[in-house]
Structure formats: structure tokens, C-alpha cells
Structure 1
Amino acid sequence: MRAIWKGSIVFGLVNVPVKVYSATEKHDVDMHQVHDKDGGRIRYERRCEVCEEIVEYADIDRSFDDGEHRVILTKDDFDALPAGESDDIDVLQFVPTDQIDPIMLERSYFLEPTSKTPKAYLLLRQTLEDTDRTAIVKITLRTRTRLAILRTRGKLLMLQTLRWADEIREVDFKGVKSRAKISDKELEMSAQLVEAYSGDFKPEEFRDDYQDELKKLIDAKIESGETLDLEEAFPDDDEDEDTGGDVVDLMEALRQSVDRSRSSKKKSRSKKSDSSKNSKKSTKRKAS
């Protein structure tokens, strides 16, 4: 991994030297736009609508237009803004972790200690963990000052940038104010459904099916070219799925959902058991 930022966490007189690394990466398949007629690559040009010339990126300024006023901002204007560059992650306060609303979280970064004796890093991480606190910080990334949090993840410190308060929309949907009466029986059945679907979250058990199928399609096209039969290569698995018809009654919908979930779990356990038996048989054959 390549560090995107280097500096120090600063709170009080304590200084913690760190490097910042992106914690996530996309697994989407990279593709280009092409002309459907001849497969030619589509290119985009930055063309001025006044002189109709193609403009180099270095010669482009930005403008603000509110319908009445138009203001052009140059590179010098942006350089004059106070954000500038800073090598510090300034700790503003420590708050209870449960006060951080997940809707505010944006990008995640890992922090690596760069000091030869990373005692301050380890002390800060352990203190946050023991006190169940999260640090609210400010950091300048790519000339923009961002609000962020420092929290622990295993043995590491993590930085997560936050949205500003005025970037969170206020909504007031009428439906949530409905006075529809919910019976005790409906609540009980709903709780049973939640219990039927309960389990420990293991992210590695979930796959991006769309990207997996896209990669299969690309591989199949490489082998077969345009002669690939899409219906044969990618049969519709939903055709055999029993939808059970339209269920209007809420209680009946809950009941059917619980039954279906329990049945699905039984099938899953049965498949795992069969798979385990087959694996043991195969092991015995190899041993003999």
C-alpha cells in the first residue's frame, strides 16, 4: 500500500507521528465506453462553447453561477483560501462512541505509527478502547479541511472522514406518523421472523453477485466471442422460485416468512451435512 498522507496526531502536548493509508478499494471491473457500430473507444473533449477550441486542463478555471451572478475563480483564488496544507491531525474533543451517527461516516483510512518507539500511538489506541471514546479531529486532505473521527479497529487506529452537519438532509415522511395500530400478535410474529433470520455477521460470506457474473461473462466472451449463447451460459434461476402468490394480510405474510426462513435453514444445514459426509468419504478413499 502507498501512504496518501504523512503527519502527526496532536492533542495537548502529545504528538503521534503517523502515515495514512486508504482502508478500502473497489472491486468493480474496469470498462471503457465504445461505439456499438465499430467498437471504437469513446473519448471526451473539453471544448469551449465560446471559441469552440479544445482546452487543456491546465487552462481551465471554475465559476459559480446562481442565476443572477457569475463569478470566475482562478487557481490563485483557491490557493489564497485558509485550508492550505497541514501536517497535523488536530484532536478537537473526545466523545462517547455511541454519539457518532453512522450516516455521517464517509471514507476510511488506516493509520500506521512511524515513530521508532510507537508508545504514544499504542497509548492513544488503548485509551480510546478502554474509555469507549472516539476522537473528533480535523485533517487537511488534498487542500480541503475535513472533519473526521479517530477510532480503534483491532490493534490499529482508524481515521474516518465525516460529512458536515449541514450535508445531512432533514426529512419528515408522513408515513412514519401513521396511527396504524400494531397488535401484540403482530409484534410477536415479527420478533419470531427477526429471530429466524438472526446470526453473526461475517462479511466474507457475502459476495457481489453482479461483479462475479460480469467476470464470468467476460471470460465466456473471451473463449466464445460473439457466438456466446447468453441464455445457455446464464440460465434464469428465478424461474423455479416459488413466490407463494400475493400475500395481503400482514399476519399471514409474517407467518409464511417465518416458515420459509426455517425451511431454508434446514435445507442449508442438510447441504452442509451432506458436504461434510462426502468430504470424509473422499478422505477415507485417499487414505486407502
Structure 2
Amino acid sequence: MRRLPSFFALRAFEAAARLGGFTQAGEELHLTPSAISHQVRALETWFGRALFTRGVRKVTLTVDGQRLLDQLSPAFDQIEDACAELRPLQSRSELAVHCSPSFAAKWLGPRLPQFMAAHPSIVIRMSSSAEPADLAKSTDIDVDIAYGLPPPHANVMVEPLGLESTVPMCSPRLLEGRDSMTPADVLRFTLIDSKVNPVQWTDWCKLNGLKLPAGARPSFDRGSMVIAAAVDGMGIALETTRFAQRDLERGDLVILDGPSFHRIERVTHFICYRKSAIDNERLIAFRDWMKAQLLPAT
């Protein structure tokens, strides 16, 4: 017979310790903070020692609590993976893909018809949000295309999706009457901020030996909105050529470039999926198709 405390108490403790509070744990487990506190108290009674140090508005793990969390979280991960493997899929043909709204609108969405034509038996179920999906919890999502490197997880594969060039770009109407541009000339225009982009104007100015002028700038919290503002002639955007590829090809935007310009190149997107699904044929087909589509940015 196993000598174990209540599973519900262990689950409440693990959630509170991982998320940093009883309120957050209650939101995840759909319980009140007092119910989480009661479960944790029962667990502390079972062990005969404190697992949290309780403050006025927050709790912190004791040494014993941290030791328990270090052992308990991997065990819950294994339980979750074992259950996910046996859980029936909603549809054998579906592949649930999650990504940021801008990636969906500017890159993935316009190309999905090509994937569907090449793989007619696979039905893509798309969702998007500003926050990356947590594949350790979101069992209804098969693939997450993360914007920025996600936190490491023992049971999640994370693969980079190649370097992206982030460059200043604007409507060609903004440059009428100018034969050439230097990096210093860029700063004479209205600069558009992209709040969620890991590359900012300060980074570009530093790389190009310039000082960013002080003052407020128009800003947007979506890369797609930044690009749309640049197309409309609001000013100069600093965005990835991956997001702007179609606008550049149509001539709605031009890149401000030349011998004196230095580009910023970074890996900013990653494809994430569970290690337990590494042999999933639908997932492999989608991953390989994406990598084939992602040619080096120009």
C-alpha cells in the first residue's frame, strides 16, 4: 500500500509553488484561494513541516517546499504526458496550430492554402493570441509558433525557424524626391515603435552608430499594425522582413538599406511541439513544410 498524502493537496501545492501564489493556483485549478490554502495546510500537517513562508500579500517556498517542488513537477509532467498519449484526438485529420496574431495575418495565413493543397487530408485548426501557448497545459494545441524563445520544458521540443532581418522600412511615397538615404537620415522621419518586437529602435541606432532622439513616438502592440501604419505613410517602421514580405513584393513598402546600413538579424520565431508527438505524421508534414517555406530573409 502506497503511503501518499492527498493527490488534491499535492496538486494544489504544486500549482501554488509553480505559479507563485494561492490566487494564481486557484485560477488554474478553478478553486478559491482559501481552498488552495486549506489543501496546502493539510499537506504541511501530513509532512509535519512548513512548505511556504506566508507574507502579507505573497507566499514564498521554504527549503523543504522547494525540494518537494523540484521532485513533484517532473512527476506531474510525466502523468500529464501519459494521459495525453491515451486521450482520443478530436479528429484524426486535425492539426491544432497556435501562433501570434501578426504571424497568422502576415505570414502563415496567406500561405496556408499552399499547405492545404499539398496535404488535403490534414485540416488545420488555427488559434492566435499575444501570449505563447503552454503545451504542458494546453492539450488541445498540437503546435505552437512562439514569438521569442519560450521557457524550457523537459517534454517540449523547441526548434528555431531561421534568422530574420529586422530593418527600417516605409512607404515609397515618403521618399519622393530623395535619391539616397543614410542611417542618420532615417532619424529625421517619424519613427514607429513596435512594442512587442524584441528588436527596438535603440538596438538599431546602437548598431548604426547613432543616438536615438528623445521624444514620444507612435507605437503599436502588433507587428501587423506597425506594417500597416508604414504602408499608410505614417513614418518608418522597424520590423522583420518576414512579416513585411508581401508588402515589399507588392511595392507598398521599401527597405531603407545601403552600404552604410547595418541590419539586425536574429532568430525570433520558434516551432514548439511535444516530444511525445515527434512521430505524428501530420505534425511532421506541417513542420517540414514550414521550414521549406522559410527561405532566408532578403
TM-score bracket for this pair, using the shorter chain length: under 0.3
TM-score under structure 2 length normalisation = 0.19
Bigger relative contact order (CA 8 A; separation at least 6): 2
Kindly name which structure, 1 or 2, has the bigger radius of gyration based on alpha carbons.
1
